Structure 1
Amino acid sequence: MSQFRIILASSSPQRKALLSGAGYEFEVMPPDESVESGICSNCGPAELVLDLSARKAAHIASRLLANLAQPTLIVACDTVAECRGTILGKPHDEEHARAILEQLRGTRHRVYSGLCLWLLSPDSKTAPRTRIAITELEMQNLSDAEIDEYLATGLWQGKAGAFGIQDHPNWLSIVQGSESNVIGLPMELLAEMMGDS
């Protein structure tokens, strides 16, 4: 499907599943966790995800450039939810997940993904390209019991905003934007950017 090697700079099972499901052949090379340290603490969600996706791509590029034998496309992405100006990443534990869901219930909120593509070539230098995808969602006004029931499933683990749209919760709907963006990799934007590569 591609004239170059594709590297997914992520260990996310959701991103792997989305790329595989779309028919891409790729390798997985997660960046070190230290890449996310020292991030901008007072920037907005768009700035944050764009910065983190670019950092992840740069980290993988630094590993590959010394022994690059063929054109290689790095795909890096970072996703957060945002509600009323507060950025909501992945919950640390169940109580954190509960607090996030309590904040989101009965609201419209947004999921932001920063997508960075960097095409490396042995004989030329190219710059990374970053774009953003935004999806607006609406969550029903869940009761405490409904939140408890969802938390007991464990489906909140490892997911920005403490939920996964791919799990089809009946209390969450997309108002506008891409479903794959909410899962963690905006496939429509990826296809558009790859068409420009």
Structure 2
Amino acid sequence: MSTPSPAPELILASTSPRRQELMRDAGYTFRVVGPDPNAECGACSSGGPVELVREYAVRKATDVAQQLMHSNRENDLLLLAADTVAECQGQILGKPANEDHARQMLQLMRGKLHRVITGLCLWRLPVEGEADSPLVEAVVTSLRMDDIDDAAIEEYLESGGWEGKAGAFGYQDRLGWIHIQEGSESNVVGLPMERVKELLAAAQVFTSPGG
């Protein structure tokens, strides 16, 4: 009777505190290895925001895979990388460059439906042999922002809550003027945990006891 192979070590290829918190809250044991910031530069997809986040997720996973490929290890590695953008009226809204950029994003989205899209890349790196082909998906959540006035936007900008967040807002900040119409709530924070749990379970990675 053959001995079952040990579960792979889970690597979260993201330095995002929000993604790390989502994974910890779900009960996963993982190691963080962040991609080089340049891995997020230069991607240009003609397929729209869905293909763009898929491409970014793959680029991040590839960068981390290259960092870890020749490391000494006993178990397979399973990389999880993600990238999130917002999209409104055909415009792709990533992380704002500055406060003025964040203001423009919020003014565009107020009173309108928009989407938050997260690209996922799950990639197994075995101890021996070649790496599997990465699994790449995109998960979409539809939201509506209230028609907030300029004063509310300025108050939020002053709080700094927009910094480092796709679309210049943090749903986890419980702003009260962003409402999910369809899809995963955690996806808006940065990881669609419902789908992540399914993918990790299929890869024999499970939550720790109590998670």
SS in 2 for 1:67: coil
- Name the CA distance, whole Å, in 2 between partners of 1:39 and 1:115: 16
Counterpart in the other structure of 1:147: 153
State whether residues 68 and 121 of structure 1, in contact with CA within 8 Å, keep that contact through their aligned partners in structure 2. no
**Unaligned 5+ residue runs, structure 2?**
1-5, 204-211
Q: Indicate the structure (1 or 2) with the bigger Cα radius of gyration.
A: 2
Deviates further, 147-156 or 35-44? 35-44
- Name the CA distance, whole Å, in 2 between partners of 1:82 and 1:144: 21
Counterpart in the other structure of 1:21: 25
State whether residues 117 and 128 of structure 1, in contact with CA within 8 Å, keep that contact through their aligned partners in structure 2. yes
Q: Give the partner amino acid of 2:114.
A: H
Cα deviation, residue 42, structure 1: 3.9
Cα deviation, residue 181, structure 1: 0.5
Q: Of 15, 34, 42, which aligns to 1:38?
A: 42
SS in 2 for 1:131: strand
Q: Does structure 1 residue 107 correspond to structure 2 residue 112?
A: yes
State whether residues 77 and 114 of structure 1, in contact with CA within 8 Å, keep that contact through their aligned partners in structure 2. yes
State whether residues 77 and 185 of structure 1, in contact with CA within 8 Å, keep that contact through their aligned partners in structure 2. yes
Deviates further, 68-77 or 165-174? 68-77
Q: Of 12, 16, 21, which aligns to 2:16?
A: 12
- Name the CA distance, whole Å, in 2 between partners of 1:189 and 1:183: 14
Cα deviation, residue 195, structure 1: 2.2
- Name the CA distance, whole Å, in 1 between partners of 2:35 and 2:107: 32
Deviations 1:56-112 (A, max 9, x none): 111111111112521111010000000010000011111111110000000000000
Counterpart in the other structure of 2:94: 89
State whether residues 45 and 51 of structure 2, in contact with CA within 8 Å, keep that contact through their aligned partners in structure 1. no
Deviates further, 125-134 or 79-88? 125-134
Q: Of 118, 123, 129, which aligns to 1:118?
A: 123
Within a 5 Å distance, the mapping from 1:109-188 to structure 2 comes to: 109-125=114-130, 126-188=132-194
Q: Give the partner amino acid of 2:79.
A: I
Q: Give the partner amino acid of 2:116.
A: V
- Name the CA distance, whole Å, in 2 between partners of 1:68 and 1:119: 16
Instruction: Normalising by structure 2, report the TM-score.
Output: 0.90
Q: Does structure 1 residue 192 correspond to structure 2 residue 194?
A: no
Q: Does structure 1 residue 76 correspond to structure 2 residue 85?
A: no
Instruction: Normalising by structure 1, report the TM-score.
Output: 0.96
**Unaligned 5+ residue runs, structure 1?**
none
- Name the CA distance, whole Å, in 2 between partners of 1:124 and 1:176: 41
Q: Of 55, 65, 71, which aligns to 1:67?
A: 71
Identity across the alignment (%): 48
Question: How many residue pairs end up in the alignment?
Answer: 196
Deviations 1:100-141 (A, max 9, x none): 000000000000000000111112331110111000000000
Deviates further, 63-72 or 87-96? 63-72
Counterpart in the other structure of 1:51: 55
Cα deviation, residue 151, structure 1: 1.0
- Name the CA distance, whole Å, in 1 between partners of 2:84 and 2:59: 13
SS in 2 for 1:66: coil
Q: Give the partner amino acid of 2:38.
A: S
